Copies of this chain bind each other. A is one copy, B any other.
């Protein structure tokens, strides 16, 4: 009776590597790999899975969205979030949606095994660095108030088109001509974009778009 693991990461080299590590371990069995966010739920419906190793930064549908959906459909699913970045916003966001642990990609395989075993045992697990980040975040929250910083906005198809053109230095007018829509419509999309990413101006919009890879 081994622990069944699903790996969800768009970097297949990474996913394959983890699989190779885990399959050498006793009592652990990698039952599947998903290279994007949308194929996870369908997989879970057809296969038995104990723990999902979930990359926070997935294309198409990011890890936080996926986590929300998975927990909604399978409330007891154990999700171990894995991320490149030790960002307080990611950590707190995905934990809010029911992830049982959060580790960084620069943690060693010993710690990975420890995390899996801890979570399989029903407890939670966090990398040391992550714990620190959370603590720092909490302290800042008390100081800074209760802004829901870092939450990932959902950008629509059209908004994304506009966003790409903005980042490519086209003006609102030029974007209108390119997309065969009115200047005013482009302005609408710009406004929505600014509101969604919580930016004050184009500079912030572009920075956040790049930081959060909103154009992929």
A20 in complex: contacting residue of B24, B104, B199, B207, CB < 8 Å: B24
User: In the complex, A104→B35 CA distance in Å?
Assistant: 14
CB pair B13–A106 under 8 Å, yes or no, is yes
Interface size of A by CB at 8 A reads 37
Task: Mark out the residues of chain A between 1 and 55 whose CB falls within 8 Å of any chain B CB in the assembled complex.
Answer: 10-14, 16-21, 24, 35
Closest chain-B Cβ to A62's Cβ sits at a distance in Å of: 15
A206 in complex: contacting residue of B18, B108, B200, B207, CB < 8 Å: B207
Closest chain-B Cβ to A150's Cβ sits at a distance in Å of: 15
15 CB < 8 A contacts A-B:
A13-B14, A13-B18, A13-B104, A13-B106, A13-B108, A13-B112, A14-B14, A17-B17, A20-B20, A35-B106, A167-B203, A171-B201, A206-B207, A206-B210, A207-B210
